[in-house]
Structure formats: structure tokens, C-alpha cells
Structure 1
Amino acid sequence: MKCHKTTVKRWLNRWTQTKDLSNLQKKGRSRVTTSEEDQMIVELVQEDMDEGITSEDIQQELRRQGTNISRSTIQNRLLEAGFKFSRPLSKPLLTQQHRRNRLIWAQSMQNYNWNKLIISNETTIRLHAVGKFFWQRPGERKVVRTVKYPLKVNVWGCLSNSGFGRIVCFQHNLTSDFLCNEIYQNALLPTARSHFGRRHDWVLLEDNDPKHRSRFSIQWKREHHITTLPWPSHSPDANPIENLWPLIKTKVSNQKPKTIKNLTRAIYKEWNDLPPELASKLVWSMKNRVHDLIESESEYILY
């Protein structure tokens, strides 16, 4: 076995003392920072959260306080504390009026019955869009060729607590006439009948797009007994269907469609393959969204 005598003695002594021959946990390298220094690093990030402090800035500030810690150690301590060095979320600027309206709306919706809601929205899905993530090494970045003006398909979709409704794909610009006489007539109303039967107490959630609020659209919905939920401006974070579109776009991109026809077919397939329980979870997230809006005093919420 080519085993040295001292090694044999060591294992025999260990067996005599502990009756345990399993590998012991190794101590590893000793920690180079104290708990107080770890706390200092975290506090510096929290104090300068709005300024975008870097590990180099933290290192310089610690040196001014008489503490010398490497940048890699600072980064490791921040990762341990749950921080991630990433881009900030880019959101439209909320005025005081926007925030006031959002807060008033959220307070009025605290006890709302989300079971009778149909949530709708539109998006654009482009051909050859880059919707995938890649594991990449430094200096070996994945290159994806893109087209400057790619062909695109506009998509309208809806969902309720009962599942996903119909979608409509179209290439031209959305108008009030097409919205009412094609989308509402052939997608929204059939979805309502499928999910709510002959009841007319369901409510439509849609944003404040001018086509939704035009005189033509308002009159059409009034004639067809469609009630809309009051909606505050600049509130995509409160609309759960906004979280669904990135998922659809990624799944469609994975199919690598080459033509508009294939792109449209992929959109319908991925939409129809969505599990109904996902729609229910998205609808019931409205309760948490309303709560978070109130807690944040109508600032943007992380949805």
C-alpha cells in the first residue's frame, strides 16, 4: 500500500481514541476581516446607496479610517451580505401628482375582489430579438448579430384568475377601431364568456393608453356593458401581466423563428402552453402589489 509507518500510527491512534475514520472538516484560511469591519463595509454601501458607491470607493474610505482591506475582500463581504453589483432599475419619473394618485388608488383597492378581474395589456415582440442569457467567461463574450430595424408583431393578451384568455397578433399600428371591433369583440368578450359565463360583473384592467380612453372605445365598452377598473398613470409595476411578457419573449426567442409567420406561430404556441395556475398567481399578486404601494408611499415597487 506504500503507506508510511507514521501514517499507520496516526490512524491507529485516532481509531483507538474516537472510533471515527471519516475526513475531518478543514479549517481553511483564517478570515482577514473582523465582524466590525464587515459591518463597516455594509454600512458604507447602505449610506451611499443612491450615489452608486464602488468597491474601490469603499476601499479608499476605509483607508481614510485607518483600515486596509483589499477590493476582492470587500466584494466577497458584500456578496455574503446579499448584495449584487448590477444596474439600477430604470423607471419613468414620478411626479407628486402621480404618487398621490397611485397612493389613493392603492388605498381604495385594499379590499377589492380580484376574482372578477380580467387583466389585459399589449406588447411588441421582434424577430431575431436577443432574449437568452449565456454563461460567459471574461474576454469571451457571446456575440449575437441583430438587425437594425427588425420585423415585429404586436400582441394583445389577457388573463384572469381562471387562466389565460385569448391573444391577438397584428402587425399594423393599434387604433381604437381595431381595438374595439377586433380585439374586444373577438378576444376579450369570448374570454369573459369562457371565464365568467353569462355574468356581467367582471371588470377589465387596462392602462391609460389613449386608444383605451378614446371616445370611441369608451362608447363601445359602454354599449357592451364592459366596466373598467380605474387605473393610475405611470403604474406598470402594478400590472401583473407586465411580468408575463419577458417570459413569453424569452420562450419565443428560444424557438429561433426566422419569419413573421414562424414568429406569430411561436407566440401563439408559448401563450397556449402557459399553465393556468400561473395566471391565478399573477392575479393574486395584486393584493401584494397594493400593499407594497401603500408601504412604499406610492414609490415604484419591485415587481
Structure 2
Amino acid sequence: MSEQMRIMRSKELPKELRDRIVARHRSGQGYKRISAALKVPKSTVASIIPKWKKFGTTRTLPRPGRPAKMSSRGRRALVREVKKNPKITVAELQRCSREMGESSTKSTITAALHQSGLYGRVARRKPLLSARHMKDCIEFAKKHMKDSQTMRNKILWSDETKIELFGVNSKRYVWRKPGTAHHLPNTIPTVKHGGGSIMLWGCFSAAGTGRLVAIEGKMNAAKYRDILEENLFQSAQDLRLGRRFTFQQDNDPKHTAKITKEWLQNNSVTVLDWPSQSPDLKPIEHLWRDLKMAVHQRSPSNLTELERICKEEWQRIPKSRCETLVASFPRSLMAVLAQKGASTQY
């Protein structure tokens, strides 16, 4: 047998060659003659021509494929279980499958869920919301949906955050060859206990970023009041907000303490009435994420350097980024209403 015939036996013939076989057959040539002329096995010719007579085509017809390991009824039942309880485990689904009379493996169950567009993912951590929290968020969203953009541009948004020297935020990817994971250029240096961290207070408006302050020691109401006294009006002045701006802060106990409230009242600061447990609404959360990414790309080696780099990167945040975040605030409010006060994607 020739090399070409051996290939023909192991591979599907091109459609052009199958058409030539049929054409020769229609001109009156026999199987043996067609086999010799086109250098294909006689058994192949004998297989192609009857299929052409039966189906009227030389195209490859769809094959039935391997039968499904799980019935469509069983798959629909699993999907219902997942929709009722998204946190259900594959082992629990396996027990459900057995109870329905379909003893399926974990891989079969996973594949069936994938076919329905359901994939296992790490659950996002969100604040625990009570009915009261959700109601407050809905009322806040309804109240401020109609605010003008001019009003939003006069808001000074504030918050605190913690940035670690070496921590989860320093996760990075590297291009490397197999077996070189521990080569020095492919590693990120770490120290015990994360190397420490710094707490920051910052603020911004649609006009750009305001002051960024490193908090020394433990934060309490008195220290928070001092931060406001030293930085609030100066930030508003730098951002040209004037005296009649609105100050946003969350409901942290330090922010709502008596001495803080007294200072804000004595200084005639208009405070935005903010709903509790609502980090999804705070546009400054996006700036914190931007800052952490920028800082850890520069790999600070100690806390002094970390603070310096934080302040440098905070000043580098473009005004356009701040404008966009404030302009997108209505979308956050709409998302809150769509979720009926529950956590959103923001």
C-alpha cells in the first residue's frame, strides 16, 4: 500500500477529492478504476459513493457525538438549586443529584453549570446590611438623584485608608520560564508581619485632590478634629471651593463624636447627611485603589519612603479622574435604587 493510501485511511478526505470520486462514478467508472486513478483505497470509494446516493451530498454530515452524562432535566434542577443558594457547594449539589436519581461526578456537575453560564468565583466581601441600612441608602439616593452637577462639584469628599508596606496590595505578575519562580528578579521582597503600614486621611473634589495626611499613632476623635482644623479649609481653598462647600464624611464614630460635631458647627461647615454602611457610594474609594496601585508599582522599602511616595502619587492623580468620579456619582445612586439598597458593583 502506498504512503498516500495509508494517509487516506487515517484522515478524512478533502471535499474536493470526494467530489472527484463521485464525478468519476457518475461518468460510469467502477470502484476499482476510481481507486487506481485517484490513489485512494477502494474501501474509501465504496464508502463515499453510497453516502452520496443516500444523502445527496459529499459534505461531512454532523455526527451525534457522545451522549450527555446528565439529562437536561437534571441540569435544570441543579441550576435552580444554585439560583436559590449561590453559596451551595459542589458536594451538596452532588447529593441533590443523587436524590434526583442521577449520580453525577463533581466534574460533570461543574461542566453542566458552565453550560448554563454559571461559574465558581470568590465571593466579594461587602458590609453586612440591615433593613434599616438599605432603607437609608434608598432614601439618600432618591434625595440626591436630582442634585445638579454644580452642587456635586462643590462637595469635598473625604475618607481614611490604610496602606501596607508589603502586603496583599503588592501582588504582581512576572514573565518567567518554568523552574525560575525563586530567581531574585522574579520575586517580591517581603518581611515578617507585613513590614508595617500607614493610615492616611485625604480629600478631593471635582477640581482635583486636596490634602493627604499621614495619621500618627492611633486615630481618635480629638486627632480627627485636629486633622480637619489643619487641612479642611486649606484643601477647600486650594481647590477653589470657597466657603460655601459641602463636606462629605462617613459615619465612623470619630466623625460623629461630640467634639467633631461641635467643631463642624462652630466653623459653619455644611456636612452631607451620609447613610451608614455605604462604601459603594463613596467615589474616593476609587482614588484609594488608584493610589495603592501606583504606590506599590514603585516598591517603597520603608514606611518613610511609603509616606513620601503616597503624597507624590496623590498629587499626580489627574484632575480629569476626579471630575469623572464626581460626574459618575448619579450612576452609583441609580445602582443603589436598582439593588433596592443592597450592595452594588461600585
Aligned partners of 1:277, 1:83: CA distance in 2, in Å?
A: 37
User: Which secondary structure state, in structure 2, belongs to the residue aligned with residue 4 of structure 1?
Assistant: helix
- Paired residue for 1:174, among 200, 212, 219? 219
- The one of 101, 109, 112 aligned to 1:66: 101
Q: Structure 2 CA distance, aligned partners of 1:277 and 1:80?
A: 42
Structure 1's 133 and 31: CA in aligned 2 closer, same or farther, altered over 3 A? farther
Q: Distance in 2 between matches of 1:3 and 1:273?
A: 69
Do the aligned partners of residues 291 and 4 (structure 1) sit closer, same or farther apart at CA in structure 2, a change above 3 Å counting? same
* Alignment correspondent of 1:46: 83
Equivalent position of 2:43 in the other structure: none
Partners in 2 of 1:59 and 1:46 — Cα distance? 16
For 1:217-258, what per-residue CA distance to the aligned partner results, in whole angstroms no more than 9, with x for missing partners?
A: 334434544311001222222212224324433432333322
Q: Is 2:209 the counterpart of 1:164?
A: yes
Shift of 1:299: 2.5
Q: What does residue 161 of structure 2 align with?
A: 123
Q: Distance in 2 between matches of 1:29 and 1:256?
A: 54
Name the residue aligned to 1:20.
none
CA RMSD of aligned residues (A): 3.8
Which residue number in structure 2 is paired with residue 13 of structure 1?
17
**Aligned amino acid, residue 193 of structure 1:** Q
CA distance in 1, matches of 2:114, 2:311: 40
**Equivalent residues of 2:74, 2:97 under 8 A apart:** no
Secondary structure in 2 aligned to 1:217? helix
Taking the aligned partners of 2:319 and 2:115, their CA distance within structure 1 comes to 37
Aligned to 1:111: 146
C-alpha change, 1:147 and 1:37, in structure 2 (3 Å) is same
The alignment's TM-score, normalised by the length of structure 1, stands at 0.76
Match of 1:268 in 2: 311
Q: Which amino acid aligns with 1:252?
A: V
Higher helix content, 1 or 2: 2
**What SS is found at the alignment partner of 1:302?**
coil
Provide closer, same or farther for how the CA distance between residues 31 and 287 of structure 1 changes in structure 2, counting only shifts above 3 A. farther
Sequence identity, in percent? Answer: 25
CA contact (8 A) 1:152 1:171 kept: no
Partner of 1:193: 237
Residue number in structure 1 paired with 2:30:
none
Tell me the matched-pair count: 289
* Preserved contact between residue 167 and residue 194 of structure 2 (Cα < 8 Å): no
Q: Summarize the Cα distance change of 1:60–1:227 in structure 2 as closer, same or farther, 3 Å threshold.
A: same
From the superposition, tell whether residues 176 and 10 of structure 1 become closer, same or farther in structure 2 (CA, over 3 Å). closer
Q: Which moved more, 1:176-185 or 1:267-276?
A: 176-185
The equivalent residue for 2:90 is 55
Counterparts of 1:85 and 1:41 in 2: how far apart (Å)? 14
For normalisation by structure 2, the TM-score amounts to 0.68
2:116 and 2:309 mapped to 1: Cα distance?
A: 41
CA distance in 2, matches of 1:29, 1:97: 55
- Aligned-partner SS, 1:105: helix
Q: Deviations over 1:109-129 (max 9, x none)?
A: 221232322211011212222
C-alpha contact (below 8 Å) 1:130/1:253 kept by paired residues: no
Deviation at 1:15, TM superposition (A): 8.3
Offset at residue 182 of structure 1 (A): 4.3
- Of 8-17 and 250-259, deviating more is 8-17
Q: Which residue of 1 aligns with 2:197?
A: 152
Helix, strand or coil at the partner of 1:298 = coil
The 3 A distance-change label for structure 1 pair 71 and 191 is: same
> Which residue of structure 1 aligns with residue 123 of structure 2?
88
Change (3 A) 1:74 1:162: farther
Cα pair distance change 1:256/1:27, threshold 3 Å? farther
Structure 1 unaligned residues grouped into runs of 5+: 18-23
TM superposition shift of 1:181: 4.5
Question: Looking at both structures, which has the greater relative contact order when contacts are Cα pairs under 8 Å and sequence separation is at least 6?
Answer: 1
Judge conservation of contact 2:90–2:109 (CA < 8 Å) in 1.
yes
SS at match of 1:107: helix
Q: Does 1:238 align with 2:281?
A: yes
Counterpart-to-counterpart distance in 2, 1:62 and 1:237:
38
Name the aligned partner's letter for residue 4 of structure 1. Q
Q: Which residue of 1 aligns with 2:341?
A: 298
1: CA distance, partners of 2:63 / 2:229:
67
1:212 alignment counterpart? 255
How far apart are the structure 2 equivalents of 1:80 and 1:251? 39
